[in-house]
Amino acid sequence: MSGNGAVWGRVRGRLRAFPEHLAACGAEAAAYGRCVQASTAPGGRLTKDLCAQEFEALRSCFAAAAKKTLRGGL
CA angle 15, 16, 18 (to 5 degrees): 65
**Domain residue limits, the chain:** 3-72
- Nearest-CA neighbor of 51 among 40, 42, 61, 43? 40
pTM of the model: 0.71
Distance CA(64)–CA(69), nearest Å, equals 9
pLDDT of residue 69: 65
- Nearest-CA neighbor of 40 among 32, 22, 62? 32
How does pLDDT run across 27-65, given as a tens digit for each residue? 999 999 999 999 888 887 888 899 999 999 999 998 998
